[in-house]
Amino acid sequence: DQQVKQNSPSLSVQEGRISILNCDYTNSMFDYFLWYKKYPAEGPTFLISISSIKDKNEDGRFTVFLNKSAKHLSLHIVPSQPGDSAVYFCAASAYYGQNFVFGPGTRLSVLP
């Protein structure tokens, strides 16, 4: 039973447009969420995080939105760039910094 779901295995977006990556979770005890980006042949790289006391966190072109009632979070990338093409993982924890559960990832392709 997947506690963290990323239902879109892949997403293609035109350069300059917005990319929206979605993540759903089932465990209502999750209170801290992260997004990671992964390029081929490299380890994941931390991108952005959000705690359950917030509903939005912004860092440059990246914004994460959290809807606790819907158990849903999304990552917005604006504007999308070809270098953003990677696999994006969301992760959730029921205790800050411990025992993160990862989703299966969404492969984003930004087309020039």
Peptide bond just before 79 cis, omega within 30 deg: yes
Query: What is the sign of the dihedral through the CA atoms of 60, 91, 76 and 70?
Result: negative
Candidates 11-19, 65-73, 75-83, 87-95 — which segment interacts with another protein by CB under 8 A?
87-95
Q: Which of 21, 73, 86, 91 binds another protein (CB under 8 A)?
A: 91
Candidates 11-19, 59-67, 71-79, 95-103 — which segment interacts with another protein by CB under 8 A?
95-103
Spell out the residues 6+ positions from residue 95 whose beta carbon is closer than 8 angstroms to its own.
Answer: 31, 32
Q: How far are the Cα atoms of 40, 62, 111, 112 from residue 65, in angstroms, in the given order?
A: 26, 10, 24, 26
Within 55-74, the residues that bind another protein by CB under 8 A are none
Within 5-34, the residues that bind another protein by CB under 8 A are 6, 34
The span from the CA of 54 to the CA of 7, in Å, is: 24
Candidates 12-20, 59-67, 75-83, 91-99 — which segment interacts with another protein by CB under 8 A?
91-99
Q: Which residues bind another protein (CB under 8 A)?
A: 4, 6, 34, 36, 41-46, 49, 89, 91, 93, 97-105
